[in-house]
Amino acid sequence: MGDVQRTREDVDVTLQYAKLDPSDMCPAAQCLYLSPNLDNDSLKLIEVDNSVLDRLLAGQSLVIRGSKTDTAVLCTKDETFEVKGAETSNTLLLLPECSFTADCLRNDPPAVIRQVCALKHEYFELRRMKPRLRHLKECLEDCPYSGERYEPEHTGLKYTFEDLLETVQASEAELRDGLRELKACAINAYWRLLDFDYMSSIVSSILSAKDELSWSSDSIPCSQLVCLLDELYPRKIVQHVLECMSHPLKSSAHAKENESCYKLSEAAVCRFFGEMMLRTANKYHLREFEEAWQLAVPDDMKTNLKHLEGLALIDRTGDPPIISFFPVHELPEDIDERFHMLFKAKEKWTLEEITPYIEAVCVDSKSGVGSLLTRYSRVSTQKGTKLYSSRK
């Protein structure tokens, strides 16, 4: 700060030069001086929207996640934001104290000294994004669960929820959603994926038990089921698989008092058997697949190709049409690379076919799909149906 400080008279002279009437101004003037100890390096600015600001004002924490090779993301408890550097041609002045119009009173000192602690020309912007959950799958695939007898063979890394929070670029709520989508199970405090063949065996055992005891698909008693399969699989695992394939019922006329019952989900069971078949052979003639698929599911369920959205690719250009295994979770998270792989796998897509593969990277699934298709594809019409193909 200089030896000479501005007075109110100095301020009024400056206003006259600017052709401003002092009576139109606030009664107090704030005179800015550069601090002798400017700190331009350790202070960082982040521009946040109102929702993030409200969380900060409420005392919630924001966490920046990412390894040295990742681009940084910022997470609230339930959202993830991409952090991008931005520059401004204006110089931003950072002040520990500053009064705004509403704060100024008539009896304030005529001239107040304010020190500028830093000068900034850059800041960070936040952009809402989908969590990067592909890494979650990669982590959990390192050590799948196939039953206690095979545990000595699985020597890969295991992760607690806290470990995953430190590893995966996602908020806490989004990470839990990702674990649920992958059908991961917490075993001895570690989150594990069930080996697909092992899970298939449990699903088959659940359906066999249902048939043997003449249980309805609409009301399967959980405790009776886990007791029945107790010698084959851990009770917790059986309950987990049942929950993955069904919906809990609040009450059931067929259940004992306080018994938890579940209604099998036709969509979940049909999708699981469809995936099991596609994993085995990868490609089928569509008609043969549909016939075999219907025979594989319980008699009271009806298969529908909609059950395989985001899981299977259907090519109707040949004779006969072909269905192949094409899971959405195997696609890259980078949008450019994702569209490249989509149009490499299939030249033309209907909106219904391509939507499940794009929704996974859209923050707003309603408007985001259309926006990305406009950017990355061209539209043509064939027999009254809109088809999307690569712009390149």
pLDDT digits (tens, 9 = 90+) for 148-203: 999 999 889 999 999 999 999 999 999 999 999 999 999 999 999 999 999 999 99
Q: How far apart are CA 156 and CA 145, in angstroms?
A: 11
Is residue 2 included in any domain, yes or no? Answer: no
Tokens of 48: 């946040």
Instruction: Kindly state the tokens that stand for 303.
Output: 């298969």
pLDDT value of residue 266: 97
Q: Domain end: 192, 213, 237, which one?
A: 192
Of 192, 221, 238, which closes a domain? 192
Do 348 and 368 lie in a common domain?
A: yes
Number of structural domains (the chain) is 4
**Same domain, yes or no: 297 and 248:** no
Whether residue 144 contacts residue 192, with contact meaning beta carbons closer than 8 Å, is answered with yes
Beta strand 185-187 with 190-192 is: antiparallel
| Domain residue limits at 303 | 283-390
pTM of structure = 0.84
Give me 134's structure tokens: 């592909």
Q: Where among 177, 192, 207 does a domain terminate?
A: 192
C-alpha to C-alpha distance for 21 and 14, rounded to whole angstroms? 11
- Mean local confidence (pLDDT), 261-290: 96
Both 146 and 207 in a single domain?
A: no
Shared domain for 167 and 121, answered yes or no, is: no
The label of the residue with tokens 């917490």 reads 186
Residue type, 304: N
Averaged pLDDT score across all residues of the chain:
90
Beta-bridged to residue 39, according to DSSP, are none
The DSSP line for 253-268 is TTSPTT--EEEE-HHH
Between 44 and 312, residue with greater pLDDT: 312
Q: Over the stretch 132-159, which tens digit does the pLDDT of each residue have?
A: 999 999 999 999 999 999 999 988 999 9
Whether residues 322 and 256 fall in one domain: no
> What average pLDDT does this structure show over 213-242?
95
93 and 179 belong to one structural domain = no
Residue 19 has, within 13 A of its CA and on its CB side, a CA count of 0
Residue 275 lies in a domain: no
Claim to verify: residue 163 and residue 243 sit in the same structural domain = no
**Cα(360)–Cα(354) distance, integer angstroms:** 11
Sheet containing strand 261-264, strands side by side: 220-221, 261-264, 246-249
Q: Are 328 and 381 members of one domain?
A: yes
Q: What pLDDT shows up at residue 25?
A: 77
Question: Does some domain include residue 139?
Answer: yes
- Residues 106 and 155 placed together within one structural domain of the fold: no
Residues 26 and 115 in one domain: yes
Query: Do residue 311 and residue 258 come from a single domain?
Result: no
Verify that 123 and 45 share a domain, yes or no: yes
